[in-house]
């Protein structure tokens, strides 16, 4: 019995790639560099600042100036959270159907709460989500199960009665480690990986298909 559905945020619940890509290109513009195509930044969106700065500037954690550039990136993004971000097609209808069926839903993301909460507020879903668990809510981030277990506790739902939906292998690993049923979405960012290899209980191409799994 599925009593709760939990969603990853970036690449699953909402298409945040345009605004994250914009932040990288704002940094490039300030340095006199041409913009990076959205198609190039989009595929690594689920990796957050690490992936986007990697594509935009070829740097990684531990490199000189990485920490400063990460802070700059997050500051730009925080001030432009929801310019072009939208829910994925069919997601709003799915949430409506879950609420009509009195199935609670929430967000479990590696995005920091200070970004996730205002983004969901601007999208109009912060008060509708039964929980919002960010990457800094617990001591661990996905693929560790701690954030998902925290969500289950917040909802007062046993993990085995939760369905976790994500677009990255880390999401599926976290869900399995938390003893939840897992769903991989083909419409997300995928980070160049193939959902068939993640060990998810189900793979869907549209949000509408998720309701059929409940």
Q: Which entry of 8, 19, 167, 168 is annotated as an active-site residue? A: 8
Q: Which entry of 10, 15, 168, 171 is annotated as an active-site residue? A: 10
Which residues on neighbouring strands pair with residue 163, listed in sequence order? 5, 181
Residue 163, φ and ψ in degrees, nearest 5: -115, 125
Strands 104-108 and 132-133: parallel
Dig out the tokens for 64 from the structure.
Answer: 């000189």
10 is catalytic: yes
User: What is the widest separation between alpha-carbon atoms in the chain?
Assistant: 55
Say which DSSP state 37 is in. Answer: P
8 is catalytic: yes
Cα 187 from Cα 60, distance rounded (Å):
27
Dig out the tokens for 52 from the structure.
Answer: 């986007």
Catalytic positions are 8, 10
């Amino acid at each position: 019995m599925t009593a709760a559905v939990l969603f990853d945020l970036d690449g699953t619940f909402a298409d945040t790639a345009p605004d994250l890509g914009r932040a990288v290109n704002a940094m490039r513009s300030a340095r006199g560099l041409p913009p990076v195509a959205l198609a190039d930044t989009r595929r690594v969106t689920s990796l957050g600042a690490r992936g986007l700065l990697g594509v935009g500037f070829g740097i990684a954690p531990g490199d000189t100036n990485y920490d400063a550039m990460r802070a700059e990136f997050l500051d730009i993004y925080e001030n432009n959270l929801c310019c072009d971000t939208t829910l994925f097609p069919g997601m709003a209808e799915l949430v409506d159907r879950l609420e009509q069926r009195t199935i609670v839903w929430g967000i479990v993301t590696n995005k920091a709460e200070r970004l996730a909460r205002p983004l969901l507020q601007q999208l109009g879903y912060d008060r509708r989500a039964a929980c919002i668990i960010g990457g800094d809510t617990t001591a661990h981030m996905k693929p560790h199960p701690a954030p998902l277990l925290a969500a289950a506790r917040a909802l007062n739902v046993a993990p085995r009665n939760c369905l976790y939906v994500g677009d990255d292998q880390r999401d599926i690993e976290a869900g399995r480690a938390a003893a939840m049923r897992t769903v991989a979405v083909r419409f997300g960012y995928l980070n160049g990986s193939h959902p068939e290899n993640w060990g998810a209980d189900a793979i869907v191409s549209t949000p509408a298909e998720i309701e059929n799994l409940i």
